Amino acid sequence: MKLYIAPYAPNPRRVTMFVAEKGLDQIEQITLNLVGGEHKTDDFRKKSPLAQIPTLELDDGRTLTESRAICTYLEAIHPEPNLMGRDAYERGFIEMWDRRAEYLITLPFMLWMRHGFPALAALEKNQNAGVAEYYETQAKRMAQWFDRELADREWIAGDRFTIADITAACGMDFAKMAKWRPDDSLPNLKRWRAALAERPAGKAPA
């Protein structure tokens, strides 16, 4: 299998962190230059018609896009270590928190960076300072909420590491370009991020 990715981008990183936690060294990772438009070539669009990354190419030539869909596929063919739930309730519970991590944490941080960080102007053609300001406020507000949630548990979706932790980390880590990190005002989030950094997923290249 081949996994097409790009450095720093949260959605590809969600999959590379998932792959690292699974220990799937056999998947070849191919880095594309987004600024250079390598994801928009005719050859790549045959694999990913919407020019999306990450894209997973199977050995038989079939492809999957959308980071969550790729992770679901990999979980099915490599069920251990389990990251998405072992029974019906746990799968639902982890997906609930993964959705919250994606929409309440990752999305606001992504939009803050895409609209507010000059280096991303080549990708976000219509950068809008008002959008950046709104999502900066939203991202920081939700970081406080997640910090309160983590006061009585170790990981986002309970007492073990799951895809929800990966999803939340991808969004927050994207804000490093604005020099934002959980600090002492977010002690539980800071503790959680430090623990994640010691795991295989946390050691995956950005």
**DSSP category for residue 180:** -
Contact of 181 with 187, CB cutoff 8 Å: no
Task: Using only the alpha carbons of the chain, give its radius of gyration.
Answer: 17
Q: Which of 86, 74, 84 is nearest to 24 (CA)?
A: 74
- pLDDT reported for residue 4: 98
Task: Classify 88-201 by CATH class.
Answer: mainly alpha
- pLDDT reported for residue 8: 83
Q: Chain centroid to CA 4: how far?
A: 15
Q: Which CATH number fits domain 2-77: 2.60.120.10, 3.30.465.10, 3.40.30.10, 3.10.450.30?
A: 3.40.30.10
Q: How far apart are CA 57 and CA 195, in angstroms?
A: 32
- pLDDT reported for residue 73: 98
pLDDT along the chain (206 residues), means of 10: 93 97 97 90 96 96 97 98 98 98 95 82 80 94 97 97 97 87 96 97 90
- pLDDT reported for residue 177: 80
Q: Is the pTM of this model over 0.95?
A: no
Q: Where are the domains of the chain?
A: 2-77, 88-201
Q: How far apart are CA 113 and CA 139, in angstroms?
A: 11
- DSSP result, 138-152: HHHHHHHHHHHHGGG
